[in-house]
Chain A
């Protein structure tokens, strides 16, 4: 932190820091109920022998993590937060960012957690899961509210490495979008630890499409895009992707994805960007709601 910004830590800033520290560890240990349900349902539905073996092991692994109070997966990921900030929330986003950074750092040192962040060129470790522009934060600012919602999504590299962008042309249409998503997920095979959540971002610009794909993976399983056109695309893709036969861990089977989420933005009349971001079966996510008074409520379902 530079000298100009280094004022005293106000109580609500401390609250956000504590929340971040808690959320990071909680997300890594205790996966959300909607995900547990989806994995359980996948196990019931899967008919291939290796596929069922994989899903049995995943369900058993989640139980062991609960019992042993251990991490669900060893990859503590890169820390990504999603903040929805009310216009009346009494802490400037610059301060929220500092609080998230300190919380991430503290969780990593105190637990302790594996630290993954390195300088992109030198590959030297940059600190306890923090670095230049890390953690990564998605911001949304809302009018008429004075609270803060913060969601922590530690993103594993095995699945993040399976991210794809294509600038389709308008003439490719919806079929082009679907084809690109299908090709991406078949090409990824077992590498991103399927079955997980396929996040798709369409429209906007190249960078914004990928941003939207990342928004899509953070949604709880079972939620649907409010736009009926987009929701229909989600359903179509979910069905198509599960017909590829890639299966759990790419060993072949009926369940290749648990869900497909699509987020969209309007775009230029000559653009048709499609971004795919994969979230593995360990789709970790944990949320907190912070009031203007600094009260915190942790939320398993958000």
Chain B
């Protein structure tokens, strides 16, 4: 298990270097996104102006203070459960060129195949560790679709963001799948001891 530092947006090669279980710290720019944002993009067929090529998306609904003129100050920014949003994975890769999705709790197995095919990864953050996460977001640089507040598209400039764990890599390995399979195997043995 290797330790990486990567600047986003990035390209397919850097993403394919990552293996499930690796640690990664992120610099550069990442994009906050959530259920409503993706419902608009995919179910309502609207395309945002923000360029998502090579992007790392973060599943979040940030707690912010409006400063006027579309500027916002961060208050507390954390991460939400990713599993609800799994159905958008393939579209994000094909239509938008997204390279990485960061969230908590993992994505179900249906994300494994598109991530392998399209060269995408799932990066696990520590759910609930919002105090730390907030200090690693340097600034909110842009916001789009403010009418969906707080489920807008958020452009964050980050530094030392993480450490994140590669939960699903671009080679068909998912830690979540493997941990579940192992747990189910162990359960069979545990049942006998009840």
Contacts and interface: CB of A to CB of B under 8 A. Distances in A.
A in complex with B: yes
B194 interface: yes
Nearest to A192: B105
A75 B63 CA distance: 10
A53 interface: yes
B21 A182 contact: no
B194 A54 contact: no
B67 interface: no
Given A74-B76, A74-B77, A244-B190, A65 B131 contact: yes
Q: How large is the interface on B (under 10, 10 to 19, 20 to 34, 35 or more residues)?
A: 35 or more
B135 A249 contact: no
B132 A244 contact: no
Interface string A48-66: 0110011001101110110
Interface in A22-68: 49-50, 53-54, 57-58, 60-62, 64-65, 68
A57 B129 contact: yes
A193 B80 CA distance: 10
A297 interface: no
Nearest to B77: A74
Contact of B78 (A62, A75, A244): A75
A251 B179 contact: yes
A48 B53 CA distance: 34
B130 A245 contact: no
Contact of A281 (B62, B128, B132, B176): B128
Contact of B175 (A68, A178, A252): A252
B194 A70 contact: no
Contacts of B129: 57-58, 60-61, 73
B1 A49 contact: yes
Contacts of A191: 81, 83, 104-106
Interface string B111-147: 0000000000000101111111111000000000000
B81 A158 contact: yes
A175 interface: yes
B54 interface: no
Nearest to B131: A65
B49 interface: no
Contacts of B134: 68, 70
A256 to B, nearest CB: 9
Contacts of A61: 126, 128-133
A190 B131 contact: no
A58 B104 CA distance: 13
Contact of A244 (B128, B130, B186): B186
Contacts of A280: 127-128
A88 B122 CA distance: 57
A71 B131 contact: yes
Contacts of A135: none
Interface centre among A50, A54, A174, A193 (most CB of B within 10 A): A50
A183 interface: yes
A250 interface: yes
B194 A175 contact: yes
Contact of A189 (B23, B76, B105, B128): B105
B187 interface: yes
A249 B179 contact: no
| Across the A-B interface, the 8 shortest Cβ-Cβ residue pairs | A74-B78, A65-B131, A61-B129, A73-B128, A74-B130, A175-B194, A193-B127, A191-B105
Interface of B: 1, 21, 23, 62-63, 76-81, 83, 104-106, 124, 126-135, 163, 165, 167, 175-176, 178-180, 182-184, 186-187, 190-191, 193-194
